[in-house]
Structure 1
Amino acid sequence: MTDLPDLAVTGATGVLGGMVARQLSDAGFSQRLLVRDPRRVPDLRDARAVAVSYGDPVLSRPALEGVKVLFMVSAAEAEDRLQQHYAFVDAAADAGVQHVVYTSFFGAAPDCTFTLGRDHYATEERIRASGMGFTFLRDNFYLDFLPMLAGEDGVIRGPAGDGVMAAVAREDIARSAVAVLRDPAVHAGATYDLTGPEDISLAQAAEVLTHATGRTVTYQHETVDEAFASRASYGAPDWQVEAWVSTYTAIAAGELSGATSDVHGLTGKDPMTLEELVKLPQL
């Protein structure tokens, strides 16, 4: 694998990883695209696809041979996601990867309200302990997801109260990641809190969506018990329902508030607002 590019990007068949891979390609970077299914990779100049599985070090370690800089998008939500992360981080260290740029979560901590944020913190600690260089991109809630929270009746329901969050567009996360990957040594050991330009509540988001789309969107506060009950019909496992509900309770607790200047500092451009995002042409 050592004849392949030494910049590796995971998740290129997904939204965020795909954005990063395309922007790197447009900027003239050669890259190794580490994906589960090489048949699904985007057709990019100077890009080579290699199969990996986060939870399978036998497959991942040789795929990581010769990689100097690794952009690691967090794995899809799963009950064993943390174990998958551990296995992949260990494989990267064993393969001699020098620097990992990892997409973490805003406010990641061992006791943060958002349950999956705890997994991100544990992954950060695994990377720190590995001896590899690192940069952590702690992304706030995706601004892109806000329009999807409304049900068919146009109501966003959840136990977020009047809490606010500094939600950030995935495009801004991608641009920030590319800025780091262009010159990773400059960002070694840094943690960036990637947010949008403002704090916004779900009620305010509903007003913006109503104005921008013409569809009436409202926010309805639920109690925690009501939130668990209303999601029971999905048949999802307990850990996933708890993760869904804790997204809202983290907002209520104020753990996703506090806009930063990190996106602008990395990219030289202000991050998008929700209104700007929903007005973009849909691909």
Structure 2
Amino acid sequence: MTPASPDRLVVLTGADGRLGSRLAFRVAAAGGRQRLLISGRGAAPRLPDGTPLPESEVVVIPAEADARAMSSAFARADAVFLVPGRDRPGRLARHRAAIDAAVLAGVRHVVYVSSIGAAPDAIASGARDDWLTEEYLRGTDLAWTMLRTSMFHRTPTLAVHDESSGAGQQALLRAPAGQGAVATVSHDDVADVATAVLLDEDPRRHAGRTYFLTGPEALTFDDIAATLSAAIGRTIRYVPQTVEQARAQFSRSTATEVEDWITLCQAIEAGVLAQVSPDVGHLAGRRARSLEVWLDDYPAEWAHLRLPSVR
């Protein structure tokens, strides 16, 4: 890893999330100076002994913070890593407030985590928000880089449920994705790419660029179920759903969460996320991690899928 310049300060939003925390550790390992913005719902990443990451400061940003309130958190920053908000409504407004804050603070470069398929008429609801955020960012004088990501490896594991039937207990992966394929990607790969972009001594190398971050292969949900089965040691079967069945299954989730999941699956069925991109390899300097490798690396992420007797 190339050492970071001691004069360069990067600000990471969402530092208490899966992606932001991984990125924070990488920036720290490279000797970078960073300001970690957290929502207050989670904790900032720390070293194994509980001490803060070196050369880092933590700032809590309330969800309702406006551009002026946020601009102080961006002060003196060379670059800002902007992750999309998890909650709607209001997600797009918060994205715009963060971009306005970067302008007010004199930030030079914003790296935005977008999604593959982002477009004004995107099938996936989240991708439509991402497109509007991209357009807003392009309309400023800021240098920008878009990291358009695929579905993360972890996401399909959340749709696996144990169900009782005449055949006994079964583990079923239910999703309204038909036979579409998706090149799922790991949080680690996105974090590695973000590190390379944020700490590059020549940020102009990435200005105005859009990178597509995927895993090394496109898998159908049948393939995903088979890969999960091999790792876990029990059979997981994929059952395609209708939209109505998906809404009923996730009735306890918020309407926004259900809509985001269903429309993402519809985008997969339409082939929007089937592309395999070489960008992770080019920017991270190694091959993207497959779902199989991720399952081997992170057994705790899918431990809930094991039978009680083998947990």
1:89-128 matches, within 5 Å, as: 89-128=99-138
Give the counterpart of 1:264 among 273, 276, 281: 281
Contact 1:166 1:200 in 2 (8 A): yes
1:69 paired to 2:72: no
Structure-1 residue corresponding to 2:31: 28
> Between Structure 1 and Structure 2, how many residues are aligned?
278
Unaligned runs of 5+ in 1: none
Give percent identity, aligned residues only. Answer: 35
Alpha-carbon distance in structure 2 between the residues aligned to 1:144 and 1:87: 29
Unaligned runs of 5+ in 2: 1-6, 46-51, 164-170, 301-311
1:158 paired to 2:165: no
User: Equivalent residue of 1:117, what SS?
Assistant: helix
Render the CA deviation track for 1:59-84: whole Å, top value 9, x for unaligned: 21111121121111111232211111
Contact 1:56 1:88 in 2 (8 A): no
Is 216-225 or 143-152 further displaced after alignment?
Answer: 143-152
Contact 2:118 2:128 in 1 (8 A): yes
Contact 1:38 1:51 in 2 (8 A): no
Contact 2:126 2:260 in 1 (8 A): yes
Structure-1 residue corresponding to 2:224: 205
Alpha-carbon distance in structure 1 between the residues aligned to 2:137 and 2:177: 32
Alpha-carbon distance in structure 2 between the residues aligned to 1:54 and 1:72: 14
Taking structure 1 as the reference length, the TM-score comes to: 0.93
Give the counterpart of 1:52 among 58, 61, 66: 61
Greater per-residue helix proportion = 1
Amino acid at match of 1:89: I
Structure-1 residue corresponding to 2:247: 228
Pairwise CA RMSD of aligned residues? 1.8
User: Equivalent residue of 1:40, what SS?
Assistant: coil
Amino acid at match of 2:124: F
Amino acid at match of 2:148: R
Structure-2 residue corresponding to 1:244: 261
Structure-2 residue corresponding to 1:11: 14
Contact 2:9 2:32 in 1 (8 A): no
Structure-1 residue corresponding to 2:48: none
- Does the C-alpha gap of structure 1 residues 185 and 38 become closer, same or farther in structure 2, counting only changes over 3 Å? farther
Structure 1 residue 178, shift from structure 2 partner: 0.5
Alpha-carbon distance in structure 2 between the residues aligned to 1:218 and 1:46: 47
Taking structure 2 as the reference length, the TM-score comes to: 0.85
Structure 1 residue 148, shift from structure 2 partner: 2.2
